[in-house]
Structure 1
Amino acid sequence: MLNKTLVPQSVVREIQAMIQSGTLKAGEKIPSQREFAQKFGISRASLREALLTLETLGLVKTEAGRGTYVTSGPGASSSGMAPWRYSDIHSAFDVFQTRLMLEGEIVRLAAGRLTQMDLDALQRATTAMEEAWEAQDLVANVEADLEFHKTIVSACSNSMLKALYQTVRDQLVETQRQPIPMTDPERMKQSIAEHRRIIEALRANDGAGARREMETHIRNTARCAGLDP
């Protein structure tokens, strides 16, 4: 049986492919949620989750009372970023601040504990992130970014910090998607270079250096979203 948590992500990829192929064109209204849910054989709740992810990535935009439309894609400054979907819980600023503290300490404690396989996985994820961006496969780009951070978390020596990370993972992940519509090619190059500097610090078992590089990376990502935590 397919893991329910994977359903929205698989649909996100399918809808992105429809947009990239021109099956769904810029400015076009997508079918009703009922019709689309039936097409993909999923619940309307799963479809809504998929559409929220696509909206955060800047591929669609929902207009109250009108429906959901295909946008002109990321980098369109007129559309900007999607509304922060967790505003009723925590602000994006607070989440970025939490990422600084939580992921900074996690990567410090992961240093010296990552195996060669882990380090290779970090490198593969970074390369996949770069290649996906070049292909404008935004879903794959973010998935590779998530895999990069997940690999580091898995090597953290503090089980409570890892549990805390999982508790707030949805909010943390959203800050990785949120800046995408405002990310230009130069910023993505910088982000990938930041990943590689984190890897080098981890390869050298330099916990303090890894923390410094991770904090720089998160701050730069936040600034791309118009925030300065």
Structure 2
Amino acid sequence: MPADVFEPPAQRGLLTESIARQLQNQIRSGALPVGAKLPSERELATQFGASRNVLREVLRRLEAQHLIEVAPGRGSFVIDQSAADARSYDALYRAGRPTVRQLIEARIPLEVEIVGLATERATDEQIRAMRVVNDAMIAATDPVTKARADLEFHETIAAAAGNPVLRIMLSSIGGMMFEMMLRSNSDPSIAQPGVPHHPEILDAIEARDVDLARHHMREHLALGLRTYGADLDVGLDVMAARHIETLLERRTAG
């Protein structure tokens, strides 16, 4: 039975991402309208061939994204997204079907400014936190954990910039950034050239060299423009879904 399925940790993360994306798309497209009750955990586990633990994580993810409300004893229901917080902007962005190129174009001016301010304002404790997160990213052995640490690295820099508006702006595109990072951190042609930029950014922040920090951040983000190839102008949702399924197939075959 699906409830007894055991997935290795790396595969569990990919399954969670894959199933969450499918349900997100059903909710955002209206296939699951506001007020609709989702199938039970057991039914979803059977439908997707995954463990109950994976489905619990999926439902927690949807609840955190303000797509569903979990009512104890009654089930999970699709809610009106207009009541969501800043992260609800994710749905507005996706309605425009942004490409990888467009996300990079948006991140460059935003994160270059963020890192400049962080270089001026970061405390020693905040810089240590950046290094801890970056070390965790380097040590991670599965793409989901690595991508989450990568996102946290950029969010930690945003926190150090000391500007809540910029931090919220970055947070609002965090979901799309994660999808891009999932691809970047599991594709050697992108991951290997990109890895050196993090330590370079950190060293520049620690040295309080604003111009150098901005330069390294710009180079880090622009790397995708040179390495994504045909995927650069594919819709971000399409690219991410395709890549997750490819990773799952590799894990299953292995």
**TM bracket (short chain):** 0.5 to 0.7
Contact 1:182 1:225 in 2 (8 A): no
Aligned to 1:16: 11
Q: What fraction of aligned residue pairs are identical, expressed as a percent?
A: 26
Larger Rg: 2
The reply to whether residue 116 of structure 1 matches residue 127 of structure 2 is no
SS at match of 1:98: helix
TM normalised by structure 1 equals: 0.60
Query: Pairwise CA RMSD of aligned residues?
Result: 3.4
- Go from structure 1 to structure 2 and tell me whether the alpha carbon gap of 1:41 and 1:219 turns closer, same or farther (over 3 Å shift): closer
For 1:179, which of 173, 176, 184 is the aligned residue? 184
Gaps of 5+ in 2: 1-5, 15-44, 64-92, 234-254
Q: Could you list the runs of 5+ residues in structure 1 that have no partner in the other structure?
A: 1-10, 20-30, 50-84
For 1:169, give the aligned amino acid.
G
Structure with greater helix share of residues: 2
Question: Could you say which residue in structure 2 is the equivalent of 1:126?
Answer: 134
Mapped contact 2:138–2:146 kept (Cα < 8 A): yes
In 2, Cα distance between equivalents of 1:90 and 1:106? 22
Residues 129, 141 of structure 1: 8 Å contact kept: yes
1:167 counterpart residue number: 172
2:197 to 154, 174, 194: 194
Contact 2:10 2:142 in 1 (8 A): no
Query: Contact conserved, 2:151 with 2:177, CA < 8 A, in 1?
Result: no
Does 1:157 find its partner at 2:162? yes
TM-score calculated relative to the size of structure 2: 0.55
Matches within 5 A, 1:60-99: 86=94, 88-99=96-107
1:125–1:148 contact (8 Å) kept in structure 2: yes
1: CA distance, partners of 2:8 / 2:47? 17
Distance 2:57 2:125 in 1: 38
Name which of 213, 216, 222 aligns with 1:213: 216
Corresponding residue number in structure 1 for 2:73: none
Shift of 1:32: 4.6
**Alignment-derived partner of residue 151 in structure 2:** 146
- Taking the aligned partners of 2:160 and 2:62, their CA distance within structure 1 comes to 33
In 2: Cα distance, 1:141 partner to 1:110 partner: 23
**Match of 1:192, as an amino acid?**
V
- Taking a change above 3 Å as real, the CA distance of residues 48 and 178 of structure 1, as seen in their structure-2 partners, is farther
Alpha carbons of structure 1 residues 18 and 178: separation in structure 2 relative to 1, 3 Å: closer
Which of 198, 207, 210 is the matching residue for 1:204? 207
| CA–CA separation in structure 2 for the residues paired with 1:144 and 1:44 | 19
| Matched residue count | 167
Aligned to 1:26: none
SS of equivalent to 2:220? helix
CA contact (8 A) 1:12 1:139 kept: no
